[in-house]
Amino acid sequence: MRWRIALRSQSQGLWAGLPPEILTIAPRFRHESMPDEVGILLPTNDGPKTLVDAIAGSPDRSGHGFLGLFLASPFLNLNLEGRRLTNARVSWITNLPSVAQQDEDFLQQLADVGLDYNRELECLARFRAHGFKIAVVVTNRIGAAAAAAIAPEAMIVLPRIADFAAGFPSMRQRGAAAQAVAEAAQAAGWSGLLLGLADEREADHETLWPERLHGVLCRPRPG
């Protein structure tokens, strides 16, 4: 799937080298009642190696260099895949999908076996040490403070699974999350690119975006 990135007018010059979209896996199971943002989190989906294999075999599919990988996977050989992605001209990595979007009970189960958000952050920090730029998916203040500790170039504020219970979360709800993340990140000493989630209609009208965002990530489309 491809997630288009739209920046505010005043941010475009500062982030001229930012790829125009993020490429991720697509859900294996799709249904009109299940948003792709939720479907991508199902455990039946392919792991990160499948996407890396596809990009390594056809670098032009990389979305101009920005990949979202499930970094909590225990089967990810980061050193090997990092070299392959460098050769495929990938320059940005983010933890999309992220376990941070799961509910609290499942998060605790993942933490008990070491497949939690901290693992994602550790992988991103290692990718950055290998020369990649990194963006961290966050959902709340706690995640923002933890993400700031690894000094990412960008943070992406995404809703959690529960937020989709009544449909696509409202702009007010997404704006409140963006505000909370921005405040926590700033308090932790971080200043970088802050992106939120928007539908295509909103993405074309930056006056609709929450004030603290420098841009938005559009809802995914098949790619």
pTM: 0.92
Phi, psi angle pair for 196, to nearest 5°: -120, -175
The tally of domains found in the chain comes to 1
Regions in the chain scoring below 50 on pLDDT: 63
Q: Which amino acid is at 150?
A: I
| Residue 8 in domain | yes
Q: What is the pLDDT of residue 90?
A: 93
Q: What is the pLDDT of residue 60?
A: 66
Alpha-carbon distances, residue 52 vs 136, 167, 189 (angstroms): 19, 31, 33
What tokens were used for 102? 């799961």
> What CATH number is given to the structural domain containing 200?
3.20.20.70
Q: E-assigned strands of 8-53? A: 21-23
| Residue 73 in domain | yes
Using the structure block, give the residue that is written with the tokens 């928007």.
198
Task: Please count the other Cβ atoms lying within 10 Å of the Cβ belonging to residue 30.
Answer: 11
| Residue 44 in domain | yes
Alpha-carbon gap, residue 84 to 89, rounded angstroms: 9
Domain extent at residue 186: 2-218
Q: Which residues, listed in sequence order, are joined to residue 218 by a DSSP beta bridge?
A: 198
| Residue 223 in domain | no
Alpha-carbon gap, residue 123 to 62, rounded angstroms: 20
| Residue 9 in domain | yes
